[in-house]
Amino acid sequence: MTSKCNTCNSEWIKIEDKKPELEQDVYYYFHIVGVYAGNYFRPEIDEDFPGQELMDCFESKSGFLCDDVTHWMDRCSCSTMPEPPKD
C-alpha cells in the first residue's frame, strides 16, 4: 500500500474540500473500516427523508457508507490499494 498512486500520482482529498463526480471510481476512507475501492453516488430523493439529497455516499462490493467517508482518491488503473491518509 502507498499513500499516493504510483501510476497517476493521485492523492487523498478531504470530502469537505472537494467531492468526486457522480459515479466516479474512487478509493475512499473511513477510519473505522479503512480503505475501499468503489464509487461515489447521491441517493435518490425520498420525500420521507428531507436532506437526503445532500448525503455523500460511497459504495463497493462490501456495501455502502453515507456521510461517514472523510477522504477519497481518484482510482485509475492502480493495482495496489493506497495507505490511509495521514491527516
Looking up cell 428531507 gives 50
- What residue numbers bound the domain in which 57 lies? 13-74
Averaged pLDDT for residues 30-53 = 80
In a domain, 87, yes or no: no
DSSP state of 6: T
How is residue 64 written as a grid cell? 455502502
In a domain, 1, yes or no: no
The per-residue pLDDT of the chain, averaged, comes to 84
In a domain, 46, yes or no: yes
Q: How many domains does the chain have?
A: 1
In a domain, 50, yes or no: yes
In a domain, 86, yes or no: no
The answer to whether 85 and 29 are in contact (CB under 8 A) is yes
Point out which residues pair with 57 in neighbouring strands: 41, 66
One-letter amino acid for residue 9 of the chain:
N
C-alpha–C-alpha distance, residues 68 and 18, integer Å: 15
Q: What is the pTM for the complete model shown?
A: 0.81
What's the pLDDT tens digit per position in 10-27? 889 999 999 999 999 999
In a domain, 82, yes or no: no
